[in-house]
Chains A and B, each alone.
Chain A
Amino acid sequence: MLKYVAKRVLLMICVFLVIISMCFILVKLLPDKPPQAMPNSDAYNIIMMRREALGYNKPLIEQYGIFMTKTLLGIDFGKTAQGEQKQILFGYDLKNHVFKGGNWGLSEQMYPNHEVWDVFLQKLPPTMLVNIYTMLFAVPIGLALGIYAALKKNKWQDHLVSTGVMVFISVPGYVYCFLIQYILCYKMVEWTGWGFPLQMLSGTNYFTWKMFVSLIPAILSLGLGTIAGLARYTRAELCEVLTSEFMLLARTKGLTRGQATVRHALRNSMVPIFPMILGEFIGIIGGSLIVEQIFGIPGVGGLYLASITALDYNFYLLLNSFYTLVGLASGIVVDLSYGFVDPRIRMGER
């Protein structure tokens, strides 16, 4: 098992490096956007000097070397502007004992003179907050609906749930966003005199009641799709398990239907469902671009979109690596967790 895990992780790192190298070269091939400052002004010259110092004008292969060591691996033993020796290994400052991450450079267009890495860290909490709330509310409901539909198979309750699931899976997520925003934030004010705020509250007090209320429309919009997906999957798995032979055995042994379902069917149907939930938990860090845009959540998604339109390449590279890493990691976790959940499954076995 350990060998398999190590092999998968190594392979993932290789794939990640290849993708990031491709991204880096493609981005560097694009013409650098001229600085916003006036040509030949002081600000302009400073930006140009900084670009020179950061190696923008060096050959591509040399830039690639710098990117690999300083940025991706976070190894820097150069000298600061003050002439001090830097000792940063894998993003960890050996002198001051703080974790700083790789040196991803400064933002030039969107947040002039801010460290890209710091801005990114600031944007991460809102995204994660919304998605964690969503998972907390969507996973139990999705599981419950799926189990209910499977137990009532081919009765009207099952048909109702299945039709709802079909509709919610098919309809694009942004359509619910519009609907929810229109009904909960706008029409509700007309009907009851109170409605949810149109956008997420500004500020960084993430754990206040008001902030939570302002997030509810976004959580609902994100959750509906997850609920539907999970319910469909759970129903299918549980239906299959319920018709299997060992269930018959459990009933003949004298267990009631409830006991047999909870002790035997549910546990076994969780084998494929649990990795799926785990995969979604990793995916939550990535967040949803559309929901963030519609509900004004100052998260990573908005940053990514803005970096594309503003052509802020340092942000763009960082976020590309981030999304790639999240995608690869969730894939690997799903695969590995099969083995942990059910030891009978040996992934990668011939």
Chain B
Amino acid sequence: MEKNNMIKVPLEKLRFADPNRRTGDQKFDTKPMSYAKDVFIRFCKNKSSVVAAIIIILLVLFSILVPIFCETNYSQSLTDTTYLKYKHLLPKNEAFVGTGFWDGCENDTINENRYYTLMALEKETGYKAITEIHDNYKENGKKYYDVRVDSYIANGMEYIDLSLEQFNDIQKWQNENNIQVIFPAVNEKTKDPKTGKELIAASKQGDADVWYATTEKGYPRVNSKGEYTACYADKNDQKYSGLLYTPEYYNYDSLRIEGDNGDYLYASVSATRVGNKVITSYKVRVLLDTYFQYRYGHEASFLFGTNQKGQDVLTRLAAGARFSLVLAVCISAINLFIGAMYGAVEGFYGGTIDIVMERISDILGGMPSMVVMSLFQLHLASKVGPVWSMVFAFVLTGWLGMAARTRMQFYRFKHQEYVLAAKTLGASDKRLIFKHIFPNAMGTLITGSVLSIPGVIFSESSLTYLGIVNLESSTQTSVGTLLSGGNGLLMSYPHIILFPALFISLLEISFNLFGNGLRDAFNPSLKGIED
């Protein structure tokens, strides 16, 4: 059955032992090995655990470093709500632009109306919202296009209100960088130059993307050459959309779009007189993509895309991961501490103390964690916040496992001869517990503690995902909150869920592998088995 495991020694190296030589009194040539070193060496032999440990280190570094270096990133500020305009952008890496992968584009089937809107955007700005057209077909009398859409450009235009300083600042930036942010204002009362009738664009009031005349159905009016009819506000056309064109407050001296001979207006100005001061406000159409560049000094490009609130998934994920990791490590440490104390008392003294204390942990262990968690949330969340009440709830039942482990170890060691010897020599209980028994139990306890970390992360993310622990009101975020945010968007924007889910899966797998390796390394009975 068993294989013959004899080591093969070459014949020339084989030498008989010298019966006269006494080896007993000689010193070892090799250095003695400490327990920790032995554990480390045996841990390193387990390749998958070492890889898992490296992955854990990388993930931890990710969650520490990304929030530090991306702190200036735009969704951090609570007062600046500009990011709300950039929701659902797809993951994009500058290096991959044009490769058809990770470039912020997605294949989509769009209807005719959307197609013309995006084409109009391209015509006006020169940026391609539709990067490729695969196919077009008719179904039930409606035309559809299979296209590849760049989500960053397709985000389109937006009306924003600016003060005079901001308006001038954008102009200055435009001149310096030669990138156009502000596009001409639209006059919704433009008249057809031939017939003199008002063109229809009224149905699209407020939609900043529409700068052209439309048919009654809302489609763009295209002439036989495929040209749009522009409805820009013109300096010479005094009535425009009810908004004031006040020449004394309007000065635009910056980039102009193609085909503009200097007559188009780039803002609708409203001026109100407060006392002696005139406060002006400029309502402008900006292209969101270039506006982002103006505002944050770099191109809009999110490695993991943005979520339903327009926050960068990368930095949110790092912040959430940091929260989850810190929480899990703290809770494991607290549980280790309480559990070790409780279990030590139980195990060392035994008898009635043990029975009473075991019944207490029986009762606590019988409570489903969901019940404990929700009760704590209901009672404490309004007083100490959801995070602290979650910590209390985790600690309340979490130490039970550690206590049982410690108790078991104490039962194992307390009747051993060396403890008896120490007792005979008059060692106090304190000394017996801390000096003699604990060091022997430590390996098991530490592994148990490490192995409990993925469990805590898992329950925390489930609880925040289900909304039992509601972190919305606090400034913290966790991986579970990120997942629940993307809940209804799985079909249309899978990246919002994909990255947090990938992260937590990787973390759980690595922690389990790492814990298993640690357990084997700390287990002296496995020593030498695999050699």
Chain A residues within CB distance 8 Å of chain B: 11, 15-16, 18-19, 23, 26-27, 29-30, 166-167, 169-172, 174-175, 178-179, 181-182, 186, 248, 289-290, 293-294, 304-305, 308-309, 311, 316, 320, 323-324, 327-328, 331
Do A15 and B366 contact each other (CB < 8 Å), given the known contacts A169-B512, A178-B501?
A: yes
Sampled A-B contacts (16; CB under 8 Å) = A11-B362, A18-B363, A19-B363, A19-B366, A166-B512, A170-B508, A174-B465, A175-B504, A175-B505, A178-B501, A290-B466, A293-B466, A309-B467, A323-B370, A324-B367, A324-B368
Contact A172 B458 (CB under 8 A): yes
Residues on A with C-beta less than 8 A from B458 are 172
Minimal beta-carbon separation of B459 from chain A (angstroms): 10
Minimal beta-carbon separation of B391 from chain A (angstroms): 18
Contact B505 A171 (CB under 8 A): yes
Contact B454 A182 (CB under 8 A): no
Contact A167 B370 (CB under 8 A): no
Residues on B with C-beta less than 8 A from A16 are 366
Contact A23 B371 (CB under 8 A): yes
Name which of B466, B468, B491, B509 has the most chain A CB atoms within 10 A of its CB: B466
Of all chain B residues, which has the CB nearest A323? B368
In Å, the complex CA distance between A311 and B494 comes to 32
Q: Per-position contact with A for B300-321: 1 when CB-CB < 8 Å, else 0?
A: 0000000000000000000000
B1 at the interface (CB under 8 A from A): yes
B374 at the interface (CB under 8 A from A): yes
Contact A320 B371 (CB under 8 A): yes
Do A181 and B490 contact each other (CB < 8 Å), given the known contacts A15-B366, A289-B370?
A: yes
Number of B residues with CB within 8 Å of any CB on chain A: 35
Sorted from nearest, which 3 A-B pairs have the closest CB atoms?
A170-B509, A170-B508, A171-B505
Minimal beta-carbon separation of B308 from chain A (angstroms): 15
Minimal beta-carbon separation of A297 from chain B (angstroms): 14
Q: Per-position contact with A for B350-385: 1 when CB-CB < 8 Å, else 0?
A: 000000000000110011101100110111000000
Q: Per-position contact with A for B461-499: 1 when CB-CB < 8 Å, else 0?
A: 110011110000000000000010001001100100100
Minimal beta-carbon separation of A155 from chain B (angstroms): 15
B513 at the interface (CB under 8 A from A): yes
In Å, the complex CA distance between A172 and B463 comes to 12
Residues on B with C-beta less than 8 A from A248 are 1
Residues on B with C-beta less than 8 A from A186 are 490-491
Contact B374 A308 (CB under 8 A): yes
Contact A170 B497 (CB under 8 A): no
Chain B residues within CB distance 8 Å of chain A: 1, 362-363, 366-368, 370-371, 374-375, 377-379, 454, 458, 461-462, 465-468, 483, 487, 490-491, 494, 497, 501, 504-505, 508-509, 511-513
Given contacts A26-B375, A308-B378, A320-B368, 12 further A-B contacts (CB under 8 A): A15-B366, A30-B379, A170-B454, A170-B505, A170-B509, A178-B501, A290-B465, A290-B466, A305-B467, A305-B468, A311-B378, A323-B370
Do A178 and B497 contact each other (CB < 8 Å), given the known contacts A166-B509, A167-B509?
A: yes
Of all chain A residues, which has the CB nearest B500? A175
Contact A327 B368 (CB under 8 A): yes
Contact A19 B462 (CB under 8 A): no
Of all chain B residues, which has the CB nearest A12? B366
Of all chain A residues, which has the CB nearest B512? A170
Residues on B with C-beta less than 8 A from A324 are 366-368, 371
Residues on A with C-beta less than 8 A from B511 are 170
Minimal beta-carbon separation of A213 from chain B (angstroms): 19
Do A182 and B491 contact each other (CB < 8 Å), given the known contacts A172-B462, A174-B465, A308-B468?
A: yes
Contact B366 A172 (CB under 8 A): no
Minimal beta-carbon separation of B338 from chain A (angstroms): 20
Residues on B with C-beta less than 8 A from A175 are 501, 504-505
Of all chain A residues, which has the CB nearest B462? A290
Residues on A with C-beta less than 8 A from B505 are 170-172, 175
Of all chain B residues, which has the CB nearest A172? B458
